[in-house]
Amino acid sequence: MENLFGLMDDLGPTKILHISLCQAGLKAIVVVDNTACGPAIGGVRIAPDVTAEEACRLARAMTLKNAAAGLPHGGGKSAIVADPRMPPGDKEHLIRAFARAIADLNEYIPGPDMGTDELAMGWVHDEIGRAVGLPREVGGIPLDELGATGFGLAAAVDVGAKAIGLDLKSAKVAVQGFGAVGKHAARFLAQKGCVLVAASDSRGTVSCSAGLDIAGLIALKEAGRSLTDFPHGTKAGTDAIIDVPCDIWIPAARPDVLRKDNAGRLKAKIVAEGANIPCTTEAEAILEARGVLILPDFVVNAGGVICAATEFHGGIETTAFLYIEEKIRRNTALLINKARGEGISMREAAMGLATERIWNAQRTRRWK
């Protein structure tokens, strides 16, 4: 069989579903990558430019993330090709149509991602009885509202900082993308003493070397405005976030934002990958060669999915945050030791950890 996008291998994808429903105005792709550890959990992304290739890569990231986190779940992803800023009524219509189209795909459990939220997962659950990241009122642990992923990122940064001798008190942080992941990462890192010196969204960057008011920035975003409307700080284009001098750089927006052509501009000591696949392989190699500590996406941004899995299995908020802290701290330390001990990159160490767990799970499965 054709090696789809060069991404088909022994792990998956198991299934790729293309959905095109003209009457509902729905175009979507669902990828179930691997189910060795259990039914696949993965977010529903809405973006006008999202592709099947991106969905396959993100589904694989979920397989690795769920396995690395030691969850009884495989990895999947869905992509709805649309503008996430459509009117709320249209969005509900579209998401309900999407949910009905995947009703029989029982090995896939949808969750929130860029362009979707807890309310959207409430609609999916209402249609098909299967979704994670639900609103509190219908039994969910609202992971984006609580900042589960940002909380896990801050825990990983804490472990990473200790490993490289960086004191988090007054450490400078720059965050690309100030949504569910980015804003909470900034907030939890500030609780550890860090200072947010820059943040960006799709419209631009705001920076101030003395520190930005995180609560003020969050309030602005929650009012539906851009960070560039903030009354303080220096304003620049979206790309300017890469050039800001800082200790910790957190990509929390789109894939492939650091590449061979721009990685050399980054001035941080730690890159904590909040977004999925934010750095190309070349970019990570360039940065590691300069001594930058890479905290790989699927290990350190697993807070959301750990929270979602806890919810799915009937746990509560307190348990979820304990799991996130324990799992992410332990895995980050494991990776750093493995990478240093074996002289390999942090990503190679992370891949080793995840694939070993997937193949161990595979051995427990029927093959016919």
Element (DSSP H or E) covering residue 149: helix 148-164
Nearest distance from residue 342's CB to ligand NAD, in Å?
Answer: 27
Binding stretches for ligand NAD (CB under 6 A): 113-114, 143-144, 149, 176-182, 200-202, 238, 252-254, 274-276, 301, 304
254, burial (CB in 10 Å: exposed 0-12, middle 13-18, buried 19+): middle
The nearer residue to ligand NAD, 223 or 341, going by C-beta atoms, is: 223
Number of neighbouring beta carbons within 10 Å of residue 225 = 13
Q: Characterize the bridge pairing of strands 234-236 and 204-207.
A: antiparallel
State the Cα–Cα distance between residues 305 and 311, nearest whole angstrom.
10
Quote the least distance from Cβ 237 to ligand NAD, whole Å: 9
Smallest distance from ligand NAD to CB 60, Å: 13
Among the listed residues 27, 65, 77, 91, the single catalytic one is 77
Measured CA to CA, the distance from residue 272 to residue 185 in angstroms comes to: 10
Q: Minimum Å distance from CB 171 to ligand NAD?
A: 21
Asked if 52 and 79 touch (Cβ cutoff 8 Å), the reply is yes
Task: Provide, rounded to whole angstroms, the least separation between the CB of residue 303 and ligand NAD.
Answer: 7
Are 197 and 207 a contacting pair, CB within 8 Å?
A: yes
Q: How many residues would you count in the chain? A: 368
Whether 77 is a known active-site residue: answer yes
313 Cβ contact partners less than 8 Å away, ≥ 6 residues apart: none
Task: Compare residues 140 and 182 and give the one whose CB is closer to ligand NAD.
Answer: 182
Question: How wide is the angle at C-alpha 298 spanned by C-alphas 115 and 329, nearest 5°?
Answer: 120
In sequence order, the β-bridge partners of residue 272 are 295
Q: Helical H runs in 192-296?
A: 214-222, 281-289
Residue showing the smallest CB distance to ligand NAD in the complex: 179
Smallest distance, ligand NAD to C-beta of residue 275, A:
3
331: its two tokens: 């895995």
Interacting residues of 160 by C-beta distance below 8 A, sequence separation 6+: 166, 270, 272, 293, 295, 332, 336
Q: How far apart are the first and last CA of the chain?
A: 20
Locate 297 and state its tokens: 């996406």
Annotated catalytic residues are: 77
